[in-house]
Each structure stands twice: as C-alpha cells, then as structure tokens.
Amino acid sequence: MQREYAIPFVGDGPLDPLRVPAAILDDPAALHARFLALLEAYWEEAFAQEWERIEPDLAASVAEAGRQIAANGVYGLLRGLFPEVRSDPADGRFWLERDHDHEVTVGPGETLVLAPSAYVWPHVRVSCDAPWPFGLVFPASSITREARPRIPPAQLVGVLRALADDTRLRALRLIAERPRSTQELAPLVGVSEAALSKHLRALADAGLLERRREGYYVLYRLVEEQLEAVAPSLDGFLRDA
C-alpha cells in the first residue's frame, strides 16, 4: 500500500505544491517548519521502528571497532574486513579490489570516517565524493558473525584437534596452494606416504579436506568454507560461554 505525504500543519491544511515558490518569499519560516514536520512524519512512519531494532547493534559495533583500533590500530580493524579490504600497513595503504580505480590520500588533520552498517553485508562501501569526508562503510560486527558459517561446538573440538599438529599444518599450507596427492605431499612434508595418509584422513574427517580421484591418484583439496568458519565459531563459543 502506498501512502501519500502532504506537508502537514502550520497554516490551513496541506500546502499546494504550486504555492511553494510564493511561500518561500512570503513566509519562509513557516515553510521551513512545514518541511521539518514532513521529515519527522516520514521518519516515524518509515524508519523509526527499524532504527529501534538496529541501533543497539550499530552502537555495539562502534564500541567493538574502537576496542580493535585501541588495541591494534586502524589496520587491526581493516584486517578483519578481508577479503573486501586489502591493506599494507608498512606502506600506509589500504584498498578495495574494484573496477573503479581511484586513490585518495588521508593526510594529517583530515578525517577518515569508519561507519558500521546493517545493510552492506557482505560488502564494504567507500564514500569519496566531496564535500563529504572520506569514509568506509562496513558490515556491523553482529551481522558478520551471524552470517559466517558456524561449526557446532562438538565438531569444533575435532577440527581444532586436527589442526593441532605441525605435519598437518604444513600439509594444509601446501594443499592450499593447489590440490595435491599423497605421493606428491609426502616428500614435501618429510614423512612417509603411510604416515601422511593418516594425517590427511584426520583432516578430511574434520571437514577440512575433500578427496577427488583423478586416474590413479587421489587429490586432496582444501575446504575453504570450513577453514574460514573456525575463527568465528571459536569466537562465538567463547563469547556465548
């Protein structure tokens, strides 16, 4: 259902749009009051209830971002926005992988606005148009946590146990480059094929690897979704506890 809005009160009923130019000259203060009343009515009808819902999450995101910056600097916050935001703290740069290539320098005394939003996930938006200050709009932390896949606590124990081994971590790093077979991995990791097979089976049982047969060989591929879910799942478990 669509609702029409007329500029309310201050005067005798709705204002005819054709009278607006005359009202600007005859009584600008009254027209200003009517316009503010229109904005207030629109806010109440269209967004007040939504703001009541999202404002606590946005406030919590601002506080969390402040803690991250206080502890690790602004690049600590930016690292949490990977892969949307890439950064090079040593070079004092951060950027987004976008088709629009536009460099902005934030110098001493200039402002960089960091604003959490309930509406941009999974993306990050940049504002770089004058006269507005340069800004980065990123997903509110609560939305990011809810959107990330979670590993159930009972399964998380098995994943962490599978990762808690130097040989398995080295094998994972090699498999992350590209799918590999046991025969290829064994000499690279420095163990026998039989020993490595046990390690790879443990990683596959934890959901971190998938097997695929290609002719004579069985190739192991990293399940990136499972690996990406480890950190938020552990964080969620610790916070919920």
Per-residue pLDDT tens for 212-234? 888 888 999 999 888 888 887 88
Please check the confidence at residue 124 and state whether its pLDDT lies above 50.
Answer: yes
Burial 121-130 (b: 16+ CB within 10 A, else e): eeebebeeee
Rounded-to-integer distance, Cα 227 and Cα 203, Å? 11
Burial 133-169 (b: 16+ CB within 10 A, else e): ebebbbbbbbbbeeebebbeeeebeebeebbeeeebe
Check residue 144 and give its pLDDT: 74
- Residue percentage of the chain with pLDDT more than 90: 39
Please check the confidence at residue 169 and state whether its pLDDT lies above 80.
Answer: yes
Please check the confidence at residue 26 and state whether its pLDDT lies above 80.
Answer: no
Sheet holding 180-181, edge to edge: 180-181, 217-222, 209-214
Q: In the structure, what pLDDT confidence band is assigned to residue 2 with cuts at 50, 70 and 90?
A: very low
Q: Which residue has the tokens 């962490």?
A: 160
The pLDDT of 93-98, averaged and rounded, is 82
pLDDT in tens, 190-220: 999 999 999 999 999 999 999 988 888 899 9
Please check the confidence at residue 6 and state whether its pLDDT lies above 60.
Answer: no
Domains of the chain: 1-46 (no CATH), 54-90+110-147 (no CATH), 153-240 (1.10.10.10)
Q: In the structure, what pLDDT confidence band is assigned to residue 87 with cuts at 50, 70 and 90?
A: confident
The pLDDT of 87-98, averaged and rounded, is 85
For helices 166-177 and 153-163, give the axis angle rounded to 10 degrees: 90
Check residue 102 and give its pLDDT: 74
Rounded to 5°, the CA angle 126-80-232 comes to: 130
CB atoms within 10 A of CB 185: 21
| Amino acid, res. 152 | P
Rounded-to-integer distance, Cα 101 and Cα 222, Å? 32
The pLDDT of 162-181, averaged and rounded, is 94
The pLDDT of 120-131, averaged and rounded, is 83
The pLDDT of 66-80, averaged and rounded, is 88
Instruction: Name the token pair of 13.
Output: 């009923």
